[in-house]
Amino acid sequence: MADQPDRTQAPGHHHRFRVEGVPERKDSPKPPARMPGGRRFWLVLLALLVANYVIAGLVSNNPSRESVPYSYFRQQVEAGNVSEVTSTGDTIQGTFKKAARPPDTTAKASTRFQTERPAFADDSLLGLLEQQNVVINAHPIETSTPLWEQILLGFGPTLLIVGLFVLIFRRAQRAGVGGGLGGFGRSRAQLYQPDEAAKRVTFDDVAGIDEAEDELVEVVDFLRNPERYTRLGATVPKGVLLTGLPGTGKTLLARAVAGEAGVPFFSISASEFIEAIVGVGASRVRDMFAQAKSAAPAIIFIDELDAIGRARGGSATLGGHDEREQTLNQILTEMDGFSGTEGVIVISSTNRPEVLDQALLRPGRFDRRVTVNPPDQTGRRMILEVHTRGVPLADDVELDALASSTPGMVGADLRNLVNEAALTAARRTHEKVQMADFTDSLERIVLGAERRIVLSREERERTAYHESGHALLGMLHPGADPVRKISIIPRGRALGVTFQSPATDRYGYTADYLRGRLIGALGGRAAEQLVYDDMTTGAESDLEQATRIARQMAGRWGMSERIGPVSVLPGPNDEPTLFPGAGSASERTRELVDEEVRRILEECERAALAQLESHRDQLESLTRALLEHETLDEVDAYRIAGIERAPASDPAPAA
């Protein structure tokens, strides 16, 4: 393993790296793209304006009116050829029933007319109009279209389109890349500079995953002291793949590497490469690597790599073009193509490494794979210390006890626990976060929020027997997880809960331990059957959990003598399209698995009934205490049951 990097060394060492195919920074930049112009541009613009004006005139919905003499208008009224008129002042507009034109004029025949009534006329026009049943309207007369409106309708659309075109061109020019795709082809990676102290993350902010951290120390040392390796002919891994469950700290670890090395850090999610336009993803990959090479040494972090790195050829593509596969091919070329990428390290994270394309995982691309495992008890203690730095803690808070009662939780879960405890303390107006705030928040996270429903006396009593059955069998079975809390307060979808957690972390499970889990899971149903000689739907989740464990025992873990050491069922992450042989078995073998699952569950149910029947007094004691107090913690539960807690044993060795 390389020595720990010297954090006092200045990061200004970009001149140590040379990238093949990339011009030096002292080269003059490319001349900017020219704005649209020239004779052809202006001719096209003029043609568009003329066409726009002509079309606007053709589609105008306000045709002109024919001017007629007033005497001719009166003749048409008397002849009954006028259907309606509109008048404002001396101006009269109207409509003929039949198209007409005055004689000895150049006007054309039309149904729409306009005339002016002489000021000296005294001919009782209103009476004549009423006599001929002419409709007299009250709305204003129509005027000709104003000049500004003609200009707006005639030239506005074309000018707007040209303006938008120029605006898009200028924005693409400022982006500096993109070609025919404009700004679409530019990388969306966020750049974090080493001098951004507010965003800088170091290994001091990472806790509980020491093994993964040690794997990356060498990468940090290479970026800070490359001569130590290059003089011996060594090269740093081109890619580091971080795998692990969600929330284990993969992204945080990648940022800590960049913070420790003091180099630019380009961060992007794999899904941001994909767009509906074919070729955009590959263009963004090229642009991102070009930026990283120009800033070398640098780190590129691609989160959720499985979004674009899935095995190729798994499904049909439309028209032979698959944007995801083109993006993946471009990443493969950039990481191990003809051009060098010295000084640029790619770090990626994924929760599903089994679905990645094998070309990504070969040497020369992602050379090193680092598994980020959930933290153990000591790691959880360290993570809690990191997340409680800015939280005022009361004197009764014991982080060791919290770490012991949170097995299986990862960094994100523990951070959420600390935040929920702080929120709970704020609601209770505490000056500091107390241990009760942490325990109540843990119950809320693990068991669910309390439901404010009122149970009948009979249902409350049945729930108490059900939970007492779970708890008592958990106390009686040797090696079972200790009972931490029993409650008949409805939480989530359950009317009551029994919380058990191991005293130490477990990495492997024996058949005896799993049978104890099954007996405990069936304890609530067995207690109802023993007391009431009847069963309810309250054991639904218990049966689902027990069936799942029994099926894994028989079909995956070889814990059935009839089936033997054969893996019949596929793993939780196996995909039939990628692993066609995983879990393949004949129909007869699958039927045998079903028979063994039934046998295991029936044996465990009989054992649960027998144990509860022989310890009926303890079952009644726990039930009465639950009905009185509603909730029992670990100490009270064991005391009331009269059972001494067995000392914590070492976890079973991993297989």
- Same domain for 478 and 596? yes
Query: pLDDT at position 153, please?
Result: 63
Rg (alpha carbons) of the chain, rounded to whole number: 41
The CATH number linked to 525 is: 1.20.58.760
Which token pair is 337? 């193509």
276 within domain boundaries: yes
Query: pLDDT at position 6, please?
Result: 45
CA distances, 180 to each of 38, 177, 187 (Å): 20, 9, 15
Which token pair is 449? 């929020």
Name residue, tokens 């024996």.
510
Query: pLDDT at position 609, please?
Result: 93
Separation of alpha carbons 519 and 601, rounded Å: 8
Query: pLDDT at position 101, please?
Result: 78
> Which of 629, 631, 627 lies closest to 460 in space, CA to CA?
627
Helix (H) or strand (E) holding 242: strand 239-244
Separation of alpha carbons 612 and 289, rounded Å: 66
462 within domain boundaries: yes
Helix (H) or strand (E) holding 267: strand 265-269
Query: pLDDT at position 422, please?
Result: 93
Domain that holds residue 260: 14-21+186-313+322-372
Name residue, tokens 């073998």.
589
- Same domain for 495 and 614? yes
Q: Determine the Cα angle at 10 with ends 6 and 13, to 5°.
A: 110
Where are the extended beta strands (E) located within 523-649? 631-633
Catalytic residue IDs: 467
Which residues is 191 bridged to in the sheet? 266
Query: pLDDT at position 606, please?
Result: 93
Which token pair is 270? 């794999």
The CATH number linked to 410 is: 1.10.8.60
- Same domain for 467 and 514? yes
> Which of 176, 165, 181 lies closest to 36 in space, CA to CA?
165
Query: pLDDT at position 598, please?
Result: 93
Alpha carbon dihedral 287, 290, 296, 300, in 10-degree steps, equals 30
- Same domain for 429 and 465? no
- Same domain for 212 and 360? yes
Q: Assign 286 to helix, strand or coil.
A: helix
Contacts with 528 (C-beta within 8 Å, 6 or more apart), sequence order: 462, 465, 466, 469, 534, 535, 536, 538, 539
409 within domain boundaries: yes
Separation of alpha carbons 371 and 209, rounded Å: 10
- Examine the fold and report which residue of 398, 418, 447 is the final residue of a domain before the chain moves on: 447
Separation of alpha carbons 523 and 571, rounded Å: 28
227 burial level (CB within 10 Å; 0-12, 13-18, 19+): exposed
- Same domain for 505 and 619? yes
Average pLDDT per consecutive 10 residues, the chain (655 residues; last block may be shorter): 42 38 39 53 69 61 71 83 82 84 75 81 77 78 60 66 68 48 52 56 77 80 80 81 86 81 80 64 79 81 82 54 73 69 79 84 83 86 89 89 85 91 92 89 82 83 91 86 86 82 79 90 91 87 91 89 83 50 70 91 92 91 90 87 66 34
- Same domain for 411 and 470? no
- Same domain for 327 and 254? yes
pTM: 0.62
Overall size of the chain counted in residues: 655
Separation of alpha carbons 443 and 107, rounded Å: 93
- Examine the fold and report which residue of 144, 164, 198 is the final residue of a domain before the chain moves on: 144
Yes or no: say if 554 and 560 are a contact pair by the CB < 8 Å rule.
yes
Which token pair is 503? 């005293």
Query: pLDDT at position 622, please?
Result: 92
Yes or no: say if 88 and 139 are a contact pair by the CB < 8 Å rule.
no
- Examine the fold and report which residue of 334, 349, 372 is the final residue of a domain before the chain moves on: 372
Yes or no: say if 435 and 418 are a contact pair by the CB < 8 Å rule.
no
CA distances, 235 to each of 170, 208, 238, 344 (Å): 42, 29, 8, 12
CA distances, 396 to each of 424, 436, 645 (Å): 16, 9, 24
- Same domain for 549 and 636? yes
Q: How many domains does the chain have?
A: 4
Three-state secondary structure string covering 302-332: EECCHHHHECCCCCCCHHHCCHHHHHHHHHH
User: What is the full DSSP assignment across 538-572?
Assistant: GGHHHHHHHHHHHHHHHHTS---TTT-S---SPPT
For 138, phi then psi, to 5°, come to -110, -5
Each residue's pLDDT tens digit, 589-618: 888 999 999 999 999 999 999 999 999 999
For 82, phi then psi, to 5°, come to -105, 125
